[in-house]
Structure formats: C-alpha cells, structure tokens
Amino acid sequence: MNTDNRYHWQHKDLLDVTQLSGEDVRHLLDLAASFQEINRRPVKKVPTLKGKTVVLFFVENSTRTKTSFDVAGKRLSADTYSLAKSGSSLNKGESLKDTALTLQAMGPDVIVIRHSSSGAAAFMADLLPCGIVNGGDGWHAHPTQALLDCFSLRQAWGDSFAGRSLLILGDIAHSRVARSNVHLLHLLGVKVRLCAPRTLLPAGVENWPVEVFSDLGRAVRDVDAVMCLRLQLERQQAGLLPDLAEYSRRFCLGAAHLELARPEAKVLHPGPMNRGLEISNEIADAPASLVLDQVAAGVATRMAVLYLLATRNDGGNA
C-alpha cells in the first residue's frame, strides 16, 4: 500500500470534482490503486484509520454508494455509523442544520452525505469543521462516482485518457453522475459526447465541453467507451417521455450499436440498471461491460477519499 507523504492534499471536503486539479485526481487514483491491492487479499483489512469515525448520513436511498463507503471505512479500520432519514429527527421536523450540529457534537472525522437537495453537502461543509464527502446531492454532483468511473477506465486504458472518446447516453438532464463525469473526463483529456432525447438534455448544455447527438447510431461511432445512465423517472416531470417503448427502441444500447464503436470499446453503467430500457441484457453481461468493475472500484476509490480527508490534519498525509 502506497501512502506517499510527499503529496499535500489541501481539501477539507470533497464536494465536487470541479475543486480538483489534474494532479489531485492522479494522486487519488494512484492511492485507490494501492487500496485495491488490499481488497484482493485474503484478509481485507488494515489499521490505517483505526480510531477515526465516519458517519454515513444518507437522506436518499442508496445501495452501491452507501455500502461501498461502509465497506471502505471498515477495511481501513475506521468506525462507521449509518443514519438514514427514516431513523433521524429530520422526520420529526428537525432542520438539516440542527441535525448536522448534532452529528458534529459526536466528534466524527468524516461525514458522507447523500441528499435530494443540490447544495446540501456544501451547506454542511461550510457549517462543520469535519470533512464532508458529497455522496450525491440532487441533480448537482456525485464526485466519487465520477472518480470510480475514471478508475475503472484507467484499469482498462492505462493512463492514456488524452484523445479518447466516451459517449454518455440517456437521462442527462436529471443526472448528477453525468455532470461530474463530463467535468472530470474533460479534465483528463477525454472527448465527451452526449446522446439523449431533446427533453432529457439539460438547459445550457450548449455551454458544456461536449458534442451532443440525438441519433445513437451516429453518437456511438468510433467511441472508446459508452456510459449508459439510469432513466430517472422519479425525478422527471410528466410528459418528458410519453412512450418508454419508443425510448428503448431509440436509446437502449444494444449489440448492433456497440459494433459501431471501436473494437475494444468498454461499457459502463452507474446502476441500478433497467435492463431492456437503457441497456440490453447481452451488453450488460458482455465481456466489454465494466459494470461490476465499477462496483469494485467504488470500494477502492472511496477508501482513498476517506483516507485523504480523515488524515489531512495528522501531519504527513498522502
């Protein structure tokens, strides 16, 4: 395990990938690669964060993000505690401010928050002295998902991001994953394409560093990877997609589409997948799919994030 003390990590919190430099990203991914080695051992635990406390404050439902942060903390020997909205005083009318101050009074080193309101993580970061990790806030950002996606791609591509092309396909408008990935991939030199129905493109997309398509056959041609997104029906207004069958016919990634991409093209999906609507069964389970690699990458990447934030004041962090 490499925790190089010569690198100075300057961030108290991880709220969005926009706060990170290219050097920050490379260091974090290198550190995640070191932690990935731990995850392959028969005994997957080290005492690195022994005595540190991580609170998982998930106001929104989550399987992958919450579980992988929990596993990441435990593998570093941190004490992790979970709090959901249903088990908190938010359900009794308590404000986010008062809940945050209550959690801080218990002395955590890091709080990971997922919230339906954009800016909730930044609000807590301004309020509290402990490290705050944004586990997803509204439509705004999901930094650790973008980092783990790039970690998965680096395992497939090596360090050759510059000049690569990647297509993000699906519900762009409601996706914090898309927003974080566009910025991070662009920072690393990847040419990003978007493909979606016009009603599922965000306002101002013309100002993003992307190329926008409405035809999947054209969008997928010669790309190095395709990232499918979940169709977030729970966030959509009525009428954006009057016919799911038509959406599937035009925007579900299938084998014929992938044949138009480059021969070694990879497929990603942040999950949960709606098979047959966003991605076909044959592609979801194909050798080109990195879906399960992303899950494994999530643990290693979140181990790196927790380590960097929990040890930044210890006098010699990575």
CB 242 within 8 A of CB 199: no
* Calpha distance 273→228 (Å, rounded): 9
Q: Is 19 annotated as a binding residue?
A: no
The pair of three-digit structure tokens given for residue 2, joined into one six-digit string: 């490499």
* Calpha distance 34→295 (Å, rounded): 17
* Calpha distance 204→187 (Å, rounded): 19
The pair of three-digit structure tokens given for residue 30, joined into one six-digit string: 């290198």
Greatest Cα pair distance, the chain, in angstroms, is: 57
DSSP 8-state symbol, 317: -
Q: Is 75 annotated as a binding residue?
A: no
The pair of three-digit structure tokens given for residue 59, joined into one six-digit string: 């106001």
Q: Is 235 annotated as a binding residue?
A: no
At position 256, the amino acid (one-letter code) is A
Q: Is 142 annotated as a binding residue?
A: yes
* Calpha distance 224→196 (Å, rounded): 18
In degrees and rounded to multiples of 5, residue 74 shows phi and psi of: -65, -35
Residue 95 CB contacts under 8 Å (≥ 6 apart), including other chains: none
Q: Is 52 annotated as a binding residue?
A: no
How far is the CA of 181 from the CAs of 54, 58, 94, 164, in angstroms? 25, 22, 33, 14
266 in helix, strand or coil? strand
Q: Is 218 annotated as a binding residue?
A: no
Q: Is 230 annotated as a binding residue?
A: yes
Q: Is 65 annotated as a binding residue?
A: yes
Q: What is the dihedral of CA 10, 148, 175, 276, to 10 degrees?
A: 180
Q: Is 176 annotated as a binding residue?
A: yes
Nearest residue to 184 via CA among 217, 225, 141, 218: 141
Annotated binding-site residue numbers for L-aspartate: 92, 176, 230
- Which residue positions form the known binding site for carbamoyl phosphate? 64-65, 114, 142, 145, 271-272
Question: Which residue numbers belong to the known binding site?
Answer: 64-65, 92, 114, 142, 145, 176, 230, 271-272
